[in-house]
Structure 1
Amino acid sequence: MQLSDGNNTLVDTNLWHALDDSVDVTNLDAMGKLERIKSTLQNARVMPSLGGQTGAYFTKVTLNIPQKGQYFVIVNANFIDIGLVSYSSSYQPTPTFQVFSQLEDDSTPPLLHFQAITVQTATENEQVDLWLLVKAKQFPTPVSLSILDSKEFYQYQKFNNGISIAGVTAMLILSLLAVLIYTGTRKRVALTCAGYLGFHGVGWAAASGMLNDIFDFPFNSSYGGILLFPFAIACAAQFVSDLFECRTDHKKLFTFLKWLSVTSFILGAAMWFMPFTLAYLLSHLLAMFWIVLTIIIGVGMLKKRDFRAKYFLVGNVLYSMTLGYYIAAHSQYFGELAYSESAVIFALSLDCLCILLCLTEWFKLKQKEFTRNQYLSRIDSMTQLGNRFSLSECIQQIPDCYVIVYIDLDGLKSINDRSGHDEGDKLIVKTASLLQQTFYSLGDVFRSGGDEFVVVLKATSANSIKNVAENAFAQMSELSNELGKQWRDAGVSYGIATSLEAKEPSECISLADKRMYQHKAKSKHPHSHKTLNPDFAVLLALTWASL
């Protein structure tokens, strides 16, 4: 092959020869292995392609290299258990041996997903003979050879490794964030999300060869990416179920996802004990099924206006597109397509980001539901005033100087009996509206019972309490007159107490309540409180004296 500057590719069509099963290369050194296979070249079976094959294969390639210097040969295979190369030239007739398997690739710069071989030439137009041996449990794709000069290789390495490292790192960080969210919330959806993201991150770190580069494993960890994938799907199915609250809102989908999760987990455990070729096939069939399923679920949830699905659908569509690109790149029909593995990892990292955004949307929705429920639990639905719970919260935070007005409607029963409860409800709503209009800038108004209201008025100082109380007294008289204009029997009884008369707000409310009943008892008829009862006036006078 005559090389040109930059990137040169040898497709794997009829490139590789099958190593006879009788040739055992396991216990030989590098030189012994290559010398043994050279003797079998003439009788070796030529392979149309290594895609889908398993076992050991070798090839001889002659390269015409125009410039002296360092070149790199990339063997485009994901799983290499044994990789050996011998190269010689007319200038360097003594063979140079290298090992480039997943377990032993220290002689060349690290290249994720694939293995690289260095070829050093000393003269221009040097002819180099390469003998290569590769062995793997599975060659899932055609195994081509890319020959790059130094500049092209380091650019390729930087881009390929950079995307893969960034993608795997992003997946693992997002998984850690989901774990932290779980520790703070104890919500199962965060834990299943962490499993979904974490298994994908660790799986691709293994499949790319990153784990073997970081840790000194005595085995080829790249197979682990395939074996871990079903566990990722098991977590993913549970995450989808939790995300869309299928247990309560989509029971049929909940049952389906539960069994898919169980089946994926069992399959993941069983795959460690079956031939890798079968495990590889099952794992990829599961991946294709999952992608189709997630797109169907995402579209279905958007149709139901569940907008948690927007990020979920975007991430999975992007991931499915790159998987299509990956499949095309490893077929005989499209030839070499650049960075197919890196594209899948990059898309998957974006998908994982979308999954975490789905999780945040879930928590936002739960926060809105919590806020709404909290609001409803503290607001009276008829009058939109705070209820007894809101009153309790208010008095816990009340300042030192305050005035309490306890109010009870008069004439409500007679109005209900004469005109019906709808008319009585109108009286209650009207009273609440007048109280809000009267005291909105001075304090807070609460409906503490059926026809009872409490007003908490804030005073700026102890000296201003008397003025606040007197103003409240005047306003209550006007409010009672206003109700009497619309309903003949309507009015209010009320009691006023101040913070100077009680140690605790609850005591002050009890005192105001007591005075309200005194006011009601001394009223001569349902709306006689429009004119202050003399005995009640004396009670107020004593109160003012204490101020």
Structure 2
Amino acid sequence: MDNMAIKRVLALMLLWMATISFSFLSFAGVAQPLSATTDIAIQDIDIWRAVDAQSHSVPTSIAAMQGLYQSATPIKTSLANQSGAYVARLQLSSQTLRAASWFIRINANFVDKGLGFWQSDQYANTGVIKFSQHEDIDTPKLMHNQAFELALSQQESGYLWLYIKAEHYALPLSIEIINSGSFFQKQFITNAVTLFSIAIMLTLAAIALTLYIKTRLVVTLACSAYIGLHGLGWAAASGLIDDLFNLQHINTTYLGMVIFPFAIAAASQFTKLLFNLDTLHRNLAKLFNGVSIICLAFGLAMPLLSFSIAFAISHIIALLWVPLAIVIGYKMLMYRDFRAKYYLLGNLLYGLSLLYYILSHSNIITGQLHAELVVLLALAGDCFCILLSLAAWLQQKKQDYSRAYYQARIDPLTHIGNRYALSEALAQVDKQYIIAFIDYDGFKQINDKLGHDQGDAFLCYGAKTMTNALDHKGEVYRTGGDEFVWLLKDHLPKDMGVAVADIERLIRQCEHALQAKWPQSGISYGIAHAQESTNQSECLALADKRMYQHKRSKDPSSVNA
């Protein structure tokens, strides 16, 4: 055979092989050799065929699957953001010299129906493999995705048939074939990060709810709803709720998107209450009230809409909420609001991760297989920051309360307890106590002759002198003008007569100290103890009466002095 004839034969053989290869590729795709050290990632373009949703029935055998595949329409684009039923056929060939298990991971968050069939070239065909959220009882749990095990004998080959149906494919419907070592590592990381993040969120929500039960402050309830609804939403979207409760009649992964608007409604109210917008920035308060109302309306309407629309609405809400939260956090930080630093940091973390998550669901960036984990970790950090902002708010409220409590019960001139503080102290005394009612003599003359500044100095010096004289034995209260009350309830001797005598001695010492600086001054007093009356009010009235008796005994004309 001459060289020209050889070339013609080779050309015909190549043409024949190319024709056979083309027809094979158009039907089954390139055979995928499986080795123990290599994982295979198959993009969704050219492997799926669309099934007519109206005319087909769910395949129950390989023969039914073959017929469905032949009648289906080949898809030349990505299935990201699509919906419906699709079938695929993959040719696989195990290159290992022993039996091995492989794991088929379908990159789909929401799966209503998932079926797999293995058609072996060497062995009897296996039964149907079910991997949807409704029927994944016997499949390995991999959150955010669906996966099933395919056990192959040594050097076994054949075809893997796949059928999948969902209301929405958030990502390209790629397929990953993973050896057991890689799969279990991926499963551990994915599930551990997911469980850790959700546990953090639900724990923080429980802490905020406990604070609400103790304080009854609405801001703590809004914080609990903000964090808790995000945690519950991701528990649903990741498949955790379905795995825990094995629900067969509802696909709980869809609930994550339905819950999200309610979480943002709670976040909006929390923001309004955290920064006291109702009082300080009323227009912003109206804005956040409007956001809450709109989100609640969408949340209530979502169950009536198709999931694709609900999915889009949730993403639009996220795109609007994140910049709004960041702007309000920055604005409050410019007002030097101490809570804003935690709020802004948390929302920056969440916002950047959410942007990454949304872009991974678009055609802008593809192949981001861990977008959910990034969002979960960032959201857990955000929730922690939100709780820190709430803690700062509560700390400030505590300080404000302490300041108001102090101002309401402390006399601003003498810095000792006032009438309200005395009433509280009297309500807490036990059976053994002594009350001394003090009224200064000559106070009006000091004000009239020396001026009110000297009068104030006289009152302050007297209060300090009496407090030092009592030391740890009791407290001094200013009940008005130049009237003071001593309340002794601790360290009293058993003999009340001795105790009263000791108090009279202390009062005389205070009087001498006052007269050393203001000779025209003096002290009138009355003393009563618990055993002389039936209650505290009676005892106080008796001490007051004796004080007036003492004042009259010194000089009847000084009663009103």
- Whether TM-score is above 0.5 comes out as yes
User: Quick one: which of 163, 166, 185 aligns to 1:155?
Assistant: 185
| One-letter code aligned to 2:174 | S
Distance change (3 Å), C-alpha of 1:463 and 1:138: closer
Structure 1 residues 429-438 or 473-482, which shifts more?
A: 473-482
User: Quick one: which of 448, 458, 466 aligns to 1:427?
Assistant: 458
2:172 paired residue number: 142
In structure 1, distance between residues paired with 2:231 and 2:353:
17
User: Quick one: which of 487, 495, 510 aligns to 1:479?
Assistant: 510
| One-letter code aligned to 1:61 | L
* 3-state DSSP of counterpart to 1:477: helix
User: Quick one: which of 240, 260, 265 aligns to 2:271?
Assistant: 240
| One-letter code aligned to 2:173 | V
In structure 1, distance between residues paired with 2:34 and 2:498:
99
TM-score between both structures, scaled by the size of structure 1: 0.86
In structure 2, distance between residues paired with 1:203 and 1:498:
65
1:257 paired residue number: 288
User: Quick one: which of 182, 185, 188 aligns to 2:212?
Assistant: 182
Please list, as runs of the form range in 1=range in 2, the aligned pairs for 1:46-195 lying within 5 A after superposition: 46-67=75-96, 68-92=99-123, 94=125, 97-124=128-155, 126-195=156-225
* 3-state DSSP of counterpart to 2:167: strand
CA drift of 1:322 comes to 2.8
**Contact (CA 8 Å) 1:86, 1:130: kept in 2 or not?**
yes
Distance change (3 Å), C-alpha of 1:235 and 1:306: same
In structure 2, distance between residues paired with 1:98 and 1:459:
80
In structure 2, distance between residues paired with 1:204 and 1:108:
21
* 3-state DSSP of counterpart to 2:290: helix
CA drift of 1:118 comes to 2.0
Please list, as runs of the form range in 1=range in 2, the aligned pairs for 1:82-481 lying within 5 A after superposition: 82-92=113-123, 94=125, 97-124=128-155, 126-213=156-243, 214-327=245-358, 329-330=360-361, 336-398=367-429, 400-458=431-489, 460=491, 462=493, 465-481=496-512
CA drift of 1:351 comes to 2.8
Distance change (3 Å), C-alpha of 1:319 and 1:451: same
Structure 1 residues 330-339 or 193-202, which shifts more?
A: 330-339
In structure 2, distance between residues paired with 1:316 and 1:428:
55
Distance change (3 Å), C-alpha of 1:26 and 1:316: farther
Structure 1 residues 271-280 or 440-449, which shifts more?
A: 271-280
1:45 paired residue number: 74
Per-residue CA deviations over 1:323-374 (Å, capped at 9, x if unaligned) read 2443455566665445322332233234334333433433333333333322
Per-residue CA deviations over 1:414-443 (Å, capped at 9, x if unaligned) read 333334433322221121121122222332
**Contact (CA 8 Å) 1:91, 1:122: kept in 2 or not?**
no
Distance change (3 Å), C-alpha of 1:191 and 1:489: same
In structure 2, distance between residues paired with 1:165 and 1:107:
20
In structure 1, distance between residues paired with 2:191 and 2:348:
24
Give aligned-pair identity as a percent: 37
* 3-state DSSP of counterpart to 1:117: strand
CA drift of 1:140 comes to 1.9
CA drift of 1:236 comes to 1.6
In structure 1, distance between residues paired with 2:531 and 2:260:
71
* 3-state DSSP of counterpart to 1:19: strand
Distance change (3 Å), C-alpha of 1:112 and 1:313: same
* 3-state DSSP of counterpart to 1:71: strand
2:27 paired residue number: none
Per-residue CA deviations over 1:148-186 (Å, capped at 9, x if unaligned) read 111221222222223323333443344344444433433
| One-letter code aligned to 1:171 | M
Structure 1: gaps spanning 5 or more residues: 529-547
* 3-state DSSP of counterpart to 1:272: helix
In structure 2, distance between residues paired with 1:6 and 1:414:
103
**Contact (CA 8 Å) 1:15, 1:46: kept in 2 or not?**
yes
Structure 1 residues 310-319 or 260-269, which shifts more?
A: 310-319
**Contact (CA 8 Å) 2:493, 2:499: kept in 1 or not?**
no
In structure 2, distance between residues paired with 1:376 and 1:228:
46
In structure 2, distance between residues paired with 1:489 and 1:527:
12
Per-residue CA deviations over 1:117-162 (Å, capped at 9, x if unaligned) read 32221113x4342232322222121122111111221222222223
Distance change (3 Å), C-alpha of 1:446 and 1:21: same
Distance change (3 Å), C-alpha of 1:519 and 1:91: same
In structure 1, distance between residues paired with 2:492 and 2:257:
74
Distance change (3 Å), C-alpha of 1:272 and 1:501: closer
Structure 1 residues 323-332 or 242-251, which shifts more?
A: 323-332
CA drift of 1:502 comes to 4.3
Query: What's the RMSD between the two structures over aligned residues?
Result: 2.9
Distance change (3 Å), C-alpha of 1:500 and 1:233: closer
In structure 1, distance between residues paired with 2:490 and 2:141:
75
* 3-state DSSP of counterpart to 2:373: helix
Distance change (3 Å), C-alpha of 1:510 and 1:59: same
* 3-state DSSP of counterpart to 1:2: strand
CA drift of 1:265 comes to 0.7
In structure 2, distance between residues paired with 1:103 and 1:398:
67
* 3-state DSSP of counterpart to 2:195: helix
Structure 1 residues 430-439 or 3-12, which shifts more?
A: 3-12
Structure 2: gaps spanning 5 or more residues: 1-31
| One-letter code aligned to 2:84 | G
Per-residue CA deviations over 1:434-478 (Å, capped at 9, x if unaligned) read 112222233211111211011123574555544443343333334
Distance change (3 Å), C-alpha of 1:30 and 1:289: farther
In structure 1, distance between residues paired with 2:507 and 2:54:
106
Number of aligned residue pairs: 525
* 3-state DSSP of counterpart to 2:86: strand
TM-score between both structures, scaled by the size of structure 2: 0.84
In structure 1, distance between residues paired with 2:233 and 2:38:
30
| One-letter code aligned to 1:135 | K
CA drift of 1:263 comes to 0.5
In structure 2, distance between residues paired with 1:520 and 1:502:
22
Distance change (3 Å), C-alpha of 1:22 and 1:433: closer
